[in-house]
Amino acid sequence: GIQVEQSPPDLILQEGANSTLRCNFSDSVNNLQWFHQNPWGQLINLFYIPSGTKQNGRLSATTVATERYSLLYISSSQTTDSGVYFCAVPHYTGANSKLTFGKGITLSVRP
């Protein structure tokens, strides 16, 4: 099946700093999602980004499908950005599909 790797595994930032989170995948994909897992465990949708660039406030994401990677940019980080960030891609086997997740990036933003 498809492999998804995220880097770096851990990231510590001072409030106000910028960061780039990376997601590499081993095969061509039709779409890709970025999630932020909040302290209570819920996966919050950040971006649904098959290709190109999207922006939402201080966050933006770029997927280069031909080179099999996606980047999540966080600018002017805040303590509320802390948590685990996952990227996920769909894996299709015939009519069946599922999401394959990376292991996540744990971000800590210090005041």
Largest separation between any pair of C-alpha atoms in the chain: 48
The tokens of 47 are what?
Answer: 């971006």
Contact track, another protein, 28-57, x by CB under 8 A: ---x-x-x----xxxx-x--x---------
The reply to whether 88 sits near another protein by the rule CB under 8 A is yes
Q: What is the CA radius of gyration of the chain?
A: 14
Residue closer to another protein (CB basis): 77 or 86: 86
The reply to whether 99 sits near another protein by the rule CB under 8 A is yes
Q: Which string of DSSP letters, residue by residue, matches 71-110?
A: EEEE-S--GGG-EEEEEEEEEEETTEEEEEE---EEEEEE
Which residues are at the interface with another protein (CB under 8 A)?
31, 33, 35, 40-43, 45, 48, 86, 88, 90, 92-93, 95-101, 103-104
